[in-house]
Amino acid sequence: MSTAFDTYQSLLAAIAADGGPSREVHDPATGELIARVPIHDETDLAHAIERARSAQPGWAALSDEERSAALNRVADVVEAAAEPLAELLSREQGKPLNGPNARFEVGACAAWLRATAATPLPVEVVVDDGDAYAELHRRPIGLVAAITPWNWPMMIAVWQIAPSLRMGNAVVAKPSEYTPLSGLALTAVMNSVLPDGVLSTVVGDGALGAAMTTSPAFGKIMFTGSTATGKRIVQSSADNLTRLTLELGGNDAGIVLPDVDPAAIAQDLFWGAFINTGQTCAAMKRLYVHEDVYDEVVAALAEVAAAMPMGVGVDEQNVLGPLQNRMQFDVVDRLVEAAKSSGARVVLGGDPDRGAVGNFYPTTLIADIDPANPLVLEEQFGPALPIIRYHDVDEAIALANGVDVGLGASVWSADRAKARDIASRLQAGTVWINSHGGVHPMIPFGGVKQSGYGLEFGAEGLKSVSVPQVING
């Protein structure tokens, strides 16, 4: 399929600021200027809301089959523009083109669009006993605000946008102020086949996001980001009783049982922790390893980690990139220094070049660390993994559950039945066995405790962006 966005230059030209208020966006790996991005204000937000209100009834009036067909056409144009989208994503976010990174993320956007279009959500007959008959239907909410983060700026946007559109809503999206070009680029490509006004993107800082969360125009807010911001959204949206899906912070634990083959699981352990250079909500951020295999697991993981090239994202050989922003670099640096000061053992890394232009923090493994160390108890969101030795599995479960968040967790064992039993005792929205962090468009995903509430993906995800209507009789 031909597209107006078949080169990086044409894609960038379509979204870069051409006048009015703007600011510079720089490559976190090199410091190079990528483009100037427009800055939107509440007047721009009001215009986007008005366009969405005008477009939504006609979009909702289409049949479910017609909206699903439209999502498949959107997937087609995303695939046609995949390489320009991946290059822009790599330059702005920092993630490399290869590995489970930029090209992977754009491919996931198309795959999620198609899966969302294909997910069945039939009318449910809830009672049919001869005396009573009732059906449960799902209707559009109206307008959905999609507020997305900087770590997976295209894929998470599709996670929010695709089901909202499928169910007949119009969407106003706001990307993170750290990755605005990625959000604008994705919208530009999608809007090449969507009806005007059904999907809009506004760009701004937290004040613009706050204006969205207080607006009565939105019947639903979807937010992925920090727990602190999620709490503010709950408060600011309360007067409107706005429906919410909140996917918030995590501090995922992995528990390795003594029956594992350390060499066999090392690569999967690595990517469970270091995918997107550790900048993933459901990455493994704490690893508890039984004392019988502790040294072997640490050594095998270090061997894998040391072989993974880190560097500028558009260099084809790299699979790890910089941290997206200096704020996050400083968080990781502070936590690793706290671990080093406590006497924990640095197995790999831990020695960043703080004066370098790019936000590169080396792949870091910290062993023999106290379970109460800040690097263990706080979410680092970067390429530094604490590895904690344990003696008894009950101790490991208590430590894994001993934080106030619960997005994901994993259990690693040769005995799947034993692993499932342990999984049932972990306080997390998803527990993986012998892997960590993988998501599937048909498998519901969401957190417990202060990792938020609401489910995404599959039929549950479609239900979350609709309102139920019972037809009784």
At 361-401, the pLDDT tens digits run 999 999 999 999 999 999 999 999 999 999 999 999 999 99
In CATH terms, 8-248+451-472 corresponds, of 3.30.160.40, 3.40.50.10800, 3.20.20.30, 3.40.605.10, to 3.40.605.10
pLDDT band for 141, please (50, 70, 90 cuts).
very high
pTM score over 0.85: yes
Sheet holding 133-140, edge to edge: 124-128, 133-140, 466-472
Q: Is the pLDDT of residue 1 over 80?
A: no
With a cut of 90, say whether residue 19 has pLDDT above it: no
CATH of domain 252-440: 3.40.309.10
| 8-248+451-472 and 252-440 have identical folds | no
Section 350-366 average pLDDT? 97
Q: Give the residue numbers annotated as catalytic, written as ranges.
A: 247, 281
pLDDT, one tens digit per residue, over 28-82 is 999 999 999 999 999 999 999 999 999 999 999 999 999 999 999 999 999 999 9
SS3 of the chain: the string is CCCCCCCHHHHHHHHCCCCCCEEEEECCCCCCEEEEEECCCHHHHHHHHHHHHHHHHHHHHCCHHHHHHHHHHHHHHHHHCHHHHHHHHHHHHCCCCCCCCHHHHHHHHHHHHHHHHHCCCCCEEEEECCCCEEEEEEEECCEEEEECCCCCCCHHHHHHHHHHHHCCCEEEEECCCCCHHHHHHHHHHHCCCCCCCCEEECCCCHHHHHHHHHCCCCCEEEEECCHHHHHHHHHHHHHHCCEEEEECCCCEEEEECCCCCHHHHHHHHHHHHHHHHHCCCCCEEEEEEECCCHHHHHHHHHHHHHCCCECCCCCCCCCECCCCCHHHHHHHHHHHHHHHHCCCEEEECCCCCCCCCCCCCCCEEEECCCCCCHHHHCCCCCCEEEEEEECCHHHHHHHHHCCCEECEEEEECCCHHHHHHHHCCCCCCEEEECCCCCCCCCCCECCEECCEECCECHHHHHHHCEEEEEEEC
Give the pLDDT of residue 3: 60
What does pLDDT average to over the chain? 97
| Chain segment 404-446, per-residue pLDDT in tens | 999 999 999 999 999 999 999 999 999 999 999 999 999 999 9
Mean pLDDT of 273-291: 98
- Output the CA torsion 447→452→457→461 (10° steps): 130
Q: Map out the domains of the chain as residue ranges.
A: 8-248+451-472, 252-440
pLDDT at 294: 98
How does pLDDT run across 188-229, given as a tens digit for each residue? Answer: 999 999 999 999 999 999 999 999 999 999 999 999 999 999
